[in-house]
Amino acid sequence: MSSSAGKRRRTAQDPNRPAQGTAFYELVVAPTLDPANARPYTDPLTGQLYNPTSGAADQADAASGTPYIELSDEEEDKDQEGTQEPAFFIHVTKTFTDTRAMTGKRANARKVQTESKTVPRGAIQVFGYSRGSFVSLALTAHDLEDDYAAGLRGPVFTVFWSGTKTNPNTVDNDSDWSVTLDRFRKAAGANKKIDTLYVVFDLDKMEPFRTRAKRPYSPDPYASEMTFGPRVPSLEYASSHQLAVGQAAEAIKAAHHCAAHGHCFIDEASKHVSLGNHKRLNAFAEAVVDGRCVANGPPPQDLLNAWGVQSIYPVAAKPRGRNGSIYPVAAKPRGRNGPHASHQPFAAPSAESSAAAETRELLMLAVAQGLAKQAGVAAPASAQAPSTPPRRSPPPLSSPPPAVDDALQRFMAEFAKGRTFAPGVIERATTSLWDLRFTPDVLADAEVSIERICGITGMVEGDVRQMRIAARKWEKKMDAKRVRRGMD
């Protein structure tokens, strides 16, 4: 205690303060632990003076600084109004193509539809919104905020304000959004009359950003057979008739395998009748179980009529190299009855009819020889009656156009011929297109963008462009078939 009391406290005002310590003490320790007694340090070698950061100096500055003045509520409100971000109305326009009327001859006559509404929240401070939150905010004008969600890139939309409608800003990512906000801030600051921000969404291009709603949970615990183990589908729950139909369906698929379409009945003219539709396959199997046909034969004619398929049953064979009729007629001897013979079934001639026929043949030979002598031409040793002139067969009818439900599957199968795709690409693309009821005439339409088809099918742009070319050729061929058959 005595030793510490005998020491004098070093202060800046004490002229008799002891000599300076080390540089570390004077510049680091003293300003940190005892800032009130911190003092400058003089380098003994160079004589340079170093001033440490002194807490005493800071305290002196604080004591002599400007006093804090509390603002009143009115002055504080005025100050906040001067620095508050401006607010604007948001007018949103959506463009889309109505896909409900995309079939028929007038499919190409439709137009893109537009609807415009204003966000119902009134004036909004848009400068505080990120790109994703602004997309959700703008879609509330059409109640679509739960149907679409922004990603790292996209969806693409355009933004403009008064004076920039002909040159709008396109926003695809956060960088584009930041640049657009800077331009809008400058324009709004220069022109105080700007009070509305216009936004345009193309819903046809936003399909990849659609949110998939989850299926609601069924309150009925027995609604699904997969809920409990005892309800798992089993052969024990199937009737004998259902088992027979299933076996017949397997036999049909084994007998009518098609490398191009999966399962088809192929007639003698190499025409394919698709059996890939489970409804057709089940009806065919029912007919086999009922005994109306066999699994390795053609479907019954009533099913073909219901499917809109022309009869594929073979007609009577005709002699090779002759142009006889394609319709089955009774056979007749050559050179006997002439070209206008009756199509009655040929019966074996009796003895009397044979004698009469020989007499008629001799008379015809005598007449022919007499005519030849009168003309000065030697008659041949044996003359024969002129043969029946060949009949020209009508051109075979082409296959009918496929039904509406089968058109997409038939087209995709034909498109895949001669092309190489990864496993499952064509099947997934066909399923995705059919879920949206895209038919070949829709794929051929130029108003449906390539980007949208890419987003739906997951295929690359080159394959989609080839698909569009093939779809247009397909539609021309189907239109020609409909014209020949008098179909609308």
Tally of helices (H runs) and strands (E runs) in the chain? 16, 10
Residue 329 pLDDT: 46
C-alpha to C-alpha distance for 340 and 231, rounded to whole angstroms: 71
Lowest-pLDDT choice from 171-185, 190-204, 417-431, 455-469: 417-431
Closest CA to 140 of 123, 124, 120: 120
C-alpha to C-alpha distance for 251 and 285, rounded to whole angstroms: 9
Considering only residues 175 and 238, tell me which one the structure prediction assigns the higher pLDDT.
175
Considering only residues 279 and 92, tell me which one the structure prediction assigns the higher pLDDT.
92
Residue 335 pLDDT: 52
Lowest-pLDDT choice from 214-218, 236-240, 272-276, 407-411: 214-218
Q: Which helix (H) or strand (E) holds 196?
A: strand 196-202
Q: Please state the rounded mean pLDDT for residues 271-284.
A: 84
Residue 328 pLDDT: 46
Percentage above 90 pLDDT, the chain: 18
Q: Please state the rounded mean pLDDT for residues 237-246.
A: 82
Considering 92-101, 134-143, 331-340, the range whose residues carry the highest mean pLDDT is 134-143
- State the chain's mean pLDDT as an integer: 75
Q: Please state the rounded mean pLDDT for residues 436-456.
A: 90
- pLDDT-derived band at 73, boundaries 50, 70, 90: low
Letter string b/e over residues 364-401, b meaning 16 or more CB atoms within 10 A of that residue's CB: eeeeeeeeeeeeeeeeeeeeeeeebeeeeeeeeeeebb
- pLDDT-derived band at 469, boundaries 50, 70, 90: very high
Residue 473 pLDDT: 92
Q: Please state the rounded mean pLDDT for residues 140-166.
A: 90
Considering only residues 142 and 217, tell me which one the structure prediction assigns the higher pLDDT.
142
C-alpha to C-alpha distance for 164 and 229, rounded to whole angstroms: 65
Residue 60 pLDDT: 45
Residue 267 pLDDT: 75
Two structure tokens written together for 44: 């003994």
Considering only residues 351 and 364, tell me which one the structure prediction assigns the higher pLDDT.
364
Which whole-number Å values give the CA distances from 416 to 26, 257, 463, 467, in the listed order? 87, 17, 10, 9
Q: Please state the rounded mean pLDDT for residues 214-237.
A: 58
Reported as a single tens digit per residue, the pLDDT across 167-211 is 999 999 999 999 999 999 999 889 888 999 999 999 988 888 888
Residue 91 predicted with pLDDT over 90: yes
C-alpha to C-alpha distance for 412 and 423, rounded to whole angstroms: 14
pTM of structure:
0.32
Considering only residues 271 and 371, tell me which one the structure prediction assigns the higher pLDDT.
271
Residue 447 predicted with pLDDT over 60: yes
Residue 11 predicted with pLDDT over 50: no
Helix (H, G, I), strand (E, B) or coil at 235: helix
Residue 400 pLDDT: 76
- pLDDT-derived band at 156, boundaries 50, 70, 90: very high
C-alpha to C-alpha distance for 488 and 479, rounded to whole angstroms: 9
- So where are the chain's domains? 2-63, 86-209, 238-307, 404-484
Which whole-number Å values give the CA distances from 58 to 53, 126, 280, 350, 381, in the listed order? 9, 43, 93, 144, 147
Task: Output the CA torsion 375→378→383→389 (10° steps).
Answer: -50
Instruction: Using alpha carbons only, give the angle 164, 169, 174 rounded to the nearest 5 degrees.
Output: 150
Lowest-pLDDT choice from 89-103, 108-122, 174-188, 339-353: 339-353
Q: Please state the rounded mean pLDDT for residues 379-408.
A: 62
Percentage above 70 pLDDT, the chain: 65
Lowest-pLDDT choice from 42-51, 62-71, 436-445, 465-474: 62-71
